[in-house]
């Protein structure tokens, strides 16, 4: 008799809606933003840069989820463009870096 690995261990796996995933992503973005600000205030450049990399990844993922949601809703032209989001992220990062220098 072969045993299955990991699946069917008596727990029912819940599937999340796209809205729930977007909310989870936004919450994580807020957490990462706080971590980045704290690292910047402490002068921990390595932690700051590491957190920004993760933040950028979550931002890209959330933007993809938003685009997928809009596509599912039948909107061909997405009002949210990933390039615009990443551009605004760059502005935030530069603003934080300037604030640190002052």
Distance of CA 74 to the CA centre of its chain: 24
**Per-residue pLDDT at 47:** 94
Q: Mean pLDDT throughout 8-15?
A: 67
- Quickly state the pLDDT bin for 45 (edges 50, 70, 90): very high
CA distance 85 to 82: 5
- State pLDDT tens for residues 18-37: 888 889 889 999 999 999 99
- State pLDDT tens for residues 70-98: 877 765 555 556 666 666 666 776 676 67
CA distance 100 to 96: 6
Q: Identify the burial level of 37 via C-beta atoms within 10 angstroms of its C-beta, where 0-12 means exposed, 13-18 middle and 19 or more buried.
A: middle
Instruction: Extract the tokens encoding 96.
Output: 């934080």
Q: Mean pLDDT throughout 36-43?
A: 94
CA distance 47 to 9: 38
Whether 65 has a pLDDT exceeding 70, the answer reads yes
């Amino acid at each position: 008799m072969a045993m299955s690995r990991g699946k069917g261990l008596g727990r029912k796996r819940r599937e999340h809606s796209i809205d729930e995933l977007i909310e989870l992503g936004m919450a994580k973005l807020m957490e990462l933003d706080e971590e980045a600000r704290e690292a910047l205030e402490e002068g921990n450049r390595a932690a700051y840069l590491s957190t920004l990399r993760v933040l950028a990844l979550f931002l890209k993922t959330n933007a993809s989820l938003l685009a997928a949601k809009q596509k599912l809703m039948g909107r061909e032209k997405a009002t949210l463009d990933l390039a615009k989001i990443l551009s605004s992220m760059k502005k935030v990062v530069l603003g934080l870096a300037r604030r640190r220098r002052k």
